[in-house]
Structure 1
């Protein structure tokens, strides 16, 4: 009888298989889980895993058709034909087992050496997804999506956003100014255009940085938050203008005037911060 496995350290399942196989050879059958627990001195989970491995080995190595086993003449001497074989009957002859010097290498006929392997319960190899993605990214299949339809979408949005911001700017004190006094007195510009140019341009730029995936993580987080905030401010600005215009208001209330007046400064600060984060490499930051 084989000696039960004794150790003071947890033994992996794969190291328990040889001892369990020797026990199965002695018993002539797959031992039960309780017998494995007692013989190997392991818990229920490991005994269950070893029992499943033995069952799998026996199932995979069991021959589908029982054929007559003919020993090699060089090792077993001359072959003597049995009456059953002469009559054409298929006879199952047990394979000879030669016990080597190491008892751990004794194997029962119909058993193979156990080796651990990964199982995928969904019958899908982890490499299948990557292979499919690689195949899909060939020069013929992977074609760039044309972005020119965005121009058609942007034209009407540009007209509406531009007119809304300019109108709101005029209601909050923005208007025609002389940016170059004493140099070009005749040159004038409407300062209300700074609102659509600053807010909407920064929103588009921050959105591009966020979705590009080519910048440091800090820059992506900042771009994400600031882009969504800029789009929300743009939407609120449009709503405020149309509500004031529908009510015939000629001068916006002071809270709206204060918020609109701070937008150019806020856009400048966010743009400078985002440009700095894009050029800065992360050093141990999250």
Structure 2
């Protein structure tokens, strides 16, 4: 056990803390306040201060970096041919000194300050500039798809014959609404990071495919318009005619993948049922 501090004068708390820490090490736990008061014959305030100091974690020392410093070469007379080097000369080794690199402390302090400063200066990114970018793109994409649809057979139709004969609609508007809307929706699903992996993978590749198809549609329309063509070739007409059906299929599949979570396989479910039965039989 630790030897109590005996003195005629009151012993400062700073001198009692090392002795009390040694006592805590011997006991394997923090001593009580009454034990410290009785052991060192001090008052309750000093005992409480010592307990608070013992409860605080001791700071970990910074690991020093070692630098090899060669020992200075002293001028000695050259040994003769018959002389052998002494044991002290053979076992001589460079002196090793420990020094703390001040750059470590500076970098540590700077790394602790950076997150706090970044959180204070961080501001949400405004999305309203996207509207300014979307307006001219909407005009160009809309006119291009409607023009291409006109060249490939899309036009004015009566969607409600016998019900509203006077109601007409240009079927060419289905191209920009379908293709571009799906591309934006698939991009949102892909970049959200809040959907299953299968839905995110499908959204990624289908969004890229929709953007490529949209770009090719714009290129085809402007080339045909510049060449003065009034009717698109059958190859372009075939691809454009299939776009509404393709967009419907991709949209339905993506919506299903987004709302369908990961399901266990049939083998896994059977194994789980078998394990449950064995567990119940073991309890019986």
TM class, shorter-length = 0.5 to 0.7
Task: Tell me how far apart the structure 2 counterparts of residues 266 and 168 of structure 1 sit (CA, whole Å).
Answer: 17
Tell me the number of residue pairs that the alignment of Structure 1 and Structure 2 aligns.
169
Q: 1:144 aligns with which of 124, 129, 152?
A: 124
Match of 1:170 among 145, 150, 158: 150
Deviation at 1:217, TM superposition (A): 1.2
Deviation at 1:178, TM superposition (A): 0.4
Name the SS of the counterpart of 1:186 in structure 2: coil
Question: What's the counterpart of residue 159 of structure 1?
Answer: 139
Is 1:232 the equivalent of 2:212? yes
1:142 Cα shift?
A: 2.3
Corresponding residue number in structure 2 for 1:257: 237
Summarize the Cα distance change of 1:136–1:261 in structure 2 as closer, same or farther, 3 Å threshold. Answer: farther
Structure 1 unaligned residues grouped into runs of 5+: 1-55, 61-121
Query: Cα offset for 1:141?
Result: 2.3
What is the CA-CA distance between 1:283 and the residue it aligns to?
Answer: 3.8
Looking at structure 2, the residues matched to 157 and 271 of structure 1 have their Cα atoms a distance apart, in angstroms, of 22
In structure 2, relative to structure 1, the CA distance for the partners of 1:123 and 1:200 (3 Å cut) is farther
The one-character-per-residue Cα deviations of 1:145-199 (angstroms, maximum 9, x if unpaired) are 1111111111111100000000000110100000011111000000000000000
The structure that is helix-richer by fraction is 2
The 3-state SS of whatever aligns with 2:144 is helix
Distance 2:197 2:167 in 1: 44
Distance 2:263 2:169 in 1: 45
Q: 1:259 to 1:123 in 2, by over 3 A?
A: farther
Structure 1 residues 276, 182: closer, same or farther in 2, change over 3 A?
same
Give the Cα separation in 1 of the matches to 2:242 and 2:112.
Answer: 52
CA distance in 1, matches of 2:114, 2:178: 40
Provide the residue aligned with 1:191 in structure 2: 171
Aligned: 1:268 with 2:248: yes
Q: Does 1:135 align with 2:116?
A: yes
Residues 1:206 and 2:181 aligned together: no
Indicate how the Cα distance of structure 1 residues 133 and 174 shifts in structure 2: closer, same or farther if over 3 A, else same.
farther
Question: What are the Cα deviations for residues 9-56 of structure 1, in whole angstroms up to 9, with x where unaligned?
Answer: xxxxxxxxxxxxxxxxxxxxxxxxxxxxxxxxxxxxxxxxxxxxxxx9
Q: 1:239 to 1:129 in 2, by over 3 A?
A: farther
With the length of structure 1 as denominator, give the TM-score of the two structures: 0.53
Q: Under a length normalisation based on structure 2, what TM-score does the superposition of the two structures give? A: 0.53
